[in-house]
Amino acid sequence: MATHHVIIGGGPVATNALETIREFDDASQITLICDEPPHSRMVLPYWLCGGGPREHAHTSDDADFQRLNVNARIGVRVNRVDPTANSLELSDGSSLEFDNLLIATGSSPLKLPIPGADLPGVQTLWTLADTENLLKATDGSDQPRVLMIGAGFIGFIMLNAMHKRGWQLAVVERESHVLPRMLDADAASLVERWLGLKGVDVHCNTAVQSITQAGDGAKVVELSDGTKLQADMVIVATGIQPNLDLVQGSGIDMDEGILVNDRMQTNFGHVYAGGDVAQGSVLFSDRPAIQAIQPTAVDHGRVAGANMAGHETHYPGSLSMNILDVCGLQNASFGNWSDPNAKTTTISNAAGNVYRKLLWTGDEITGALFIGEANDLGMLTDVGMVKGIMQTRTPLGSWKGYLTENPFDIRRPYIASKVPQKLVKTTLLGRPAKMRQFQFGGTQPTAHVSAAHGVYVGTKVQG
């Protein structure tokens, strides 16, 4: 009898695991269980800002499931996992047996425990339905007033989308500065100044006490410092928590999330976990952690899928990274960017909106922060080169002194330390990565090689 793989979830862990299983095993049975159509949350801001239709967020469809020979049960939830009996209890009253199980249930936004949090027009911005609700509520208004509670990475992705629409925006953050889990105070001060120049009203070091509704339907948001703000819509973005209810009492080991080894296995060898629910290995730390970011989710899905299919693969650990556009100001942080014990190389130019900080453990870069406008950051490859240095754990030796004196010249130590050669030889599954086969509408992407890039493509090593 064919092995039965069951995957719970519809995000990047699940979709990458599906395709990876099929790379190594085309005979097994696969069942996908998800309460929403498989989609990428990272595409929701593009829909929100008008950059594309809802369907562009979808990452699989019926034709794709048929191609992969996957039994997709969309609109169903798993209520309970029994790893000993190899069975699941589903929300429709049925049960399902499995040989291998991948838990990729993601996370959910935290609720706001204050009066008025349940008023109409107060919502999270996390799901397809949330995005649709906001677009419907603001339809017909050129410049709706939107107040966001929480100034973290996820909230600012959506803030950037709303800024592109020209909406009137305000942000409230209880911490002392915006993006507290991505930037230090000095870097954040540049972001706050930039937001002010862009017309975004920022309130830090204060908390929302209550939300009431005025006679005209507007929301009145009262802050702990006595300030009262009015908005047409209030978005709650105060953090997320992993969806772990289905494994409570199952015997699966958990801490902050489901504990996994470097094959993405739990303490039950036939039960795997990945993405926001998985607490696993990370670079520059001996302590397992949850990294609720897209690149980690993709890696987790590919590693779990390979191992479920019998292709033993070990994950070297994920690199903490956040890359964000804040209304035109680009931000990036990597690794242990807040390590108080690290030596630092810092350059800051507030007038030019430039901030760079490298954190050193010995002669190894173990953390980094970057801020800059597109021409100073996004159009350069410095961010990618630092990321490559960190991912390959390359000690820079005497080049550390050079970078301390020349923090804008990443290229020389990057090339001299042979980081490109290391990256070329690095594969997650022991073979070159393949592009996901699913494409919206069944169309395949096309690329035009310009004359400037032709020399590189033409000399690319084949095979």
Q: Which residues, at least 6 apart from 292, have a Cβ–Cβ distance to it below 8 Å? A: 107, 240, 242, 275, 276
Q: Is domain 328-418 classified as CATH 3.30.390.30?
A: yes
**Domain 122-238 CATH superfamily:** FAD/NAD(P)-binding domain (3.50.50.60)
Compute the half-sphere exposure of residue 364: CA atoms within 13 Å on the CB side of its CA.
12
Q: How far is CA 83 from CA 32, 48, 87, 98, 267, in A?
A: 17, 39, 7, 9, 10
- Give all strands (DSSP E) within 167-320, no chain letters: 168-173, 201-204, 208-213, 219-223, 228-231, 233-236, 240-242, 258-259, 271-273, 278-279
Report yes or no: 38 and 301 within 8 Å, Cβ to Cβ.
no
Strands across the sheet containing 87-90: 78-82, 87-90, 95-97
Local confidence pLDDT in tens for the 463 residues of the chain: 899 999 999 999 999 999 999 999 999 999 999 999 999 999 999 999 999 899 999 999 999 999 999 999 999 999 999 999 999 999 999 999 999 999 999 999 999 999 999 999 999 999 999 999 999 999 989 899 999 999 999 999 999 999 999 999 999 999 999 999 999 999 999 999 999 999 999 999 999 999 999 988 899 999 999 999 999 999 999 999 999 999 999 999 999 999 999 999 999 999 999 999 999 999 999 999 999 999 999 999 999 999 999 999 999 999 999 999 999 999 999 999 999 999 999 999 999 999 999 999 999 999 999 999 977 776 678 999 999 999 999 999 999 999 999 988 999 999 999 999 999 989 999 888 877 778 777 777 677 777 766 655 555 544 4
Q: Do domains 122-238 and 328-418 have the same CATH topology?
A: no
DSSP code string of 410-429: -HHHHHHTTHHHHHHH--SS
Q: Is residue 134 a contact partner of residue 48, using CB atoms and an 8 Å limit?
A: yes
Q: Give the model's pLDDT for residue 177.
A: 98
pLDDT of residue 463: 46
Domain ranges of the chain: 4-108+241-308, 122-238, 328-418
Look up the CATH number of domain 4-108+241-308. 3.50.50.60
- Specify the pLDDT at position 1: 80
Q: Residue 459: its pLDDT value, please? A: 52
- What CA–CA distance (Å, rounded) separates 23 from 21? 5
Q: How far apart are CA 248 and CA 463, in angstroms?
A: 47
How does DSSP classify residue 139? Answer: T
| pTM for this entry | 0.93
* Closest of 366, 301, 269, 277 to residue 78, by C-alpha: 277
Cβ neighbours for 229, distance < 8 A, ≥ 6 positions apart = 147, 170, 172, 201, 203, 220, 221, 223
289 has which bridge partners?
Answer: 280
Helix (H) or strand (E) holding 451: helix 451-458
Instruction: HSE, CB side, 13 Å, CA atoms: give it for residue 256.
Output: 13
